[in-house]
Amino acid sequence: MGKSVDPRKNSGHGLPWPRSFQKAPKPMPILTIKTDKKTIEVEKGAAIIDVCENHDTSILFGCRDGACGACMVRVIENPQHLSPMEDHERDFLETMAAREDERLACQCRVLGDVTVEVAE
């Protein structure tokens, strides 16, 4: 009987699988903050508030809980790449008469490439 071969490691002939058969690593999402002219590679699901704590950005945070509006951003590209809006964020934004493309950065997680700017 022949020796067993781990198909993840090689083709069975002592040679590695061709690159076309290997899984490419998934690219990390990019958070672009247009106001700062910054692009930041982030882990999928990263909270914008955490990203901003580790990078010098112009997004300001007050209460950090979605109750003050200091961190309001306008989503320029790919709003579908942010976590879905929860009821308390939606209610607060309605109270603030926010535009449809505005979100509270403290309530958002990055799920894919997205571009935001500080709302005026």
52-66 confidence digits (pLDDT tens): 999 999 999 999 999
pLDDT digits (tens, 9 = 90+) for 65-83: 999 999 999 999 999 999 9
Q: How many residues does the chain have?
A: 120
Of 24, 32, 29, the C-alpha closest to 44 is: 29
Asked, for residue 89, whether it belongs to a domain, the answer is yes
The CATH number of the domain holding residue 45 is 3.10.20.30
Q: pTM value? A: 0.78
Q: What are the distances in angstroms from CA 52 to CA 41, 57, 70, 76, 80?
A: 12, 6, 13, 18, 20
Backbone angles phi, psi at 40, to 5 degrees: -125, 125
Q: Residue 46 is part of which domain span?
A: 27-118
- At 36 the pLDDT is 97
Residue type, 54: N
Of 118, 105, 99, the C-alpha closest to 38 is: 118
- Distance between CA atoms of residues 105 and 17, nearest Å: 43
Asked, for residue 17, whether it belongs to a domain, the answer is no
Residue 1 has pLDDT above 80, yes or no: no
Number of domains in the chain: 1
- At 19 the pLDDT is 62
